[in-house]
Amino acid sequence: MGELAPRDVVSRSIFLHLQKLSESDPNRASDRVWLDLRSIPPEKIQRRFPKIIQVCQKWGVDVFKQPIPVAPAAHYWMGGIVTDLQGQTSIPGLYAVGEVTSTGVHGANRLASNSLLECLVFGAQFASLGKSFQRHDESISTARSATKAIQADEWQKDEAVLERIHQALPVLMWNNAGICRDAEHLESAIAQVRDWRYGFDRLSVTRTLTSLEVGVTLSLPSVRIGQSIRRWAETQNLLDNAYLILRSALFRTESRGGHYRIEYPHTDPNWQVHTLVRGEDWLRSQPIPTQEFGD
């Protein structure tokens, strides 16, 4: 199937090819794989791939005269959050739709563009949620009112720690839980993420923010710190997601869809289950029956 093979197959082929080149000759570590569109009529490229043309022009690549350097990249989401048919999660008032959810309409390797269909179908269910949102808002309005301050010097001490984590975490995940995975690298990354989470929980800003109660107003000394609170929240979410990905990848001792374990390269029918995460417990769901199209 060549470049039309499933995306995990193409990505893994590129990755392993470049890895072999760099292992045989360290000077070739920066080698690339190229996508050549020059055999396609220019008018067809302009009609079908206008965005690709724009992006390549930004980086000085003329797709009509030059091959395009390509490399594997991380996909967005391929499911995870369990919802019902109305998009409701296990947390009251929290709804999810699209690629982030595990609704059962896609498998171990997300099909191209089916997230649009998912959003149309499940997003339409949100029209019936007005009453539940109104009750949720009323419960907040009746909470007590108070103010809690966060000091500028406290934030400045913690900001550097957050920035180091924010910069290092993507590198750690790509190197240890990227296209090809194995137990040694996964366990090493888990230990590092645990260490970062331990330090994150003990930051003075974390203690202040996580102790806030409903109805308590946070007083900030400057707008810049207010913007940086988003950075704090993003870092917390990234650490949690990284831990879930790493632990789940270590737990599943097979290869399936976008998940590829070097020491378990084949799909195991005993693993035709969902991974269920409850706190620190990683569990298997009941076996998922195989269904053919049209059944």
**pLDDT tens digits for the chain (295 residues)?**
877 787 788 888 888 888 888 888 777 666 788 999 999 999 999 999 999 999 999 999 999 999 999 888 776 677 788 888 888 898 988 998 888 888 777 767 766 667 788 888 888 888 777 655 555 444 444 445 566 666 767 777 888 899 999 999 999 999 899 999 999 999 999 999 999 999 999 998 898 888 877 777 777 666 566 677 888 999 999 999 999 999 999 999 999 988 999 999 999 999 999 898 888 999 998 888 776 544 4
The pLDDT value given to residue 140? 47
Q: Is residue 70 part of a domain?
A: no
7, 197, 247, 284: the catalytic one is: 7
Q: Are residues 151 and 210 in the same domain?
A: yes
The pLDDT value given to residue 64? 95
47 is catalytic: no
b/e code 167-190 from CB counts within 10 Å (16+ = b): eebeebbeebbebbbeeebbeebb
Q: Are residues 195 and 100 in the same domain?
A: no
Answer yes or no: are the C-beta atoms of 63 and 72 closer than 8 Å: no
CA-to-CA distance for 244 and 80, rounded, in angstroms? 10
Q: Are residues 211 and 175 in the same domain?
A: yes
Q: Is residue 211 part of a domain?
A: yes
The pLDDT value given to residue 29? 61
Pairing of strands 275-278, 281-284: antiparallel
Q: Are residues 274 and 211 in the same domain?
A: yes
Residues 6+ apart with CB under 8 A from 118: 97, 98, 99, 101, 103, 105, 106
Q: Are residues 191 and 276 in the same domain?
A: yes
Say which amino acid occupies 244.
Answer: L
Q: Which of residues 73, 102, 130 is at a domain's end?
A: 130
What 3-state class would DSSP assign to 72?
coil
Q: Is residue 121 part of a domain?
A: yes
The pLDDT value given to residue 271? 94
The pLDDT value given to residue 295? 42
Q: Are residues 118 and 159 in the same domain?
A: no
The pLDDT value given to residue 112? 65
Q: Is residue 224 part of a domain?
A: yes
Q: Are residues 220 and 188 in the same domain?
A: yes
- Look up the domain containing 199 and give its range: 146-284
The pLDDT value given to residue 31? 75
Can you count the helices (H) and strands (E) in the chain?
9, 8
The domain total for the chain is 2
Q: Is residue 48 part of a domain?
A: no
Q: Are residues 121 and 217 in the same domain?
A: no
Q: Are residues 220 and 247 in the same domain?
A: yes
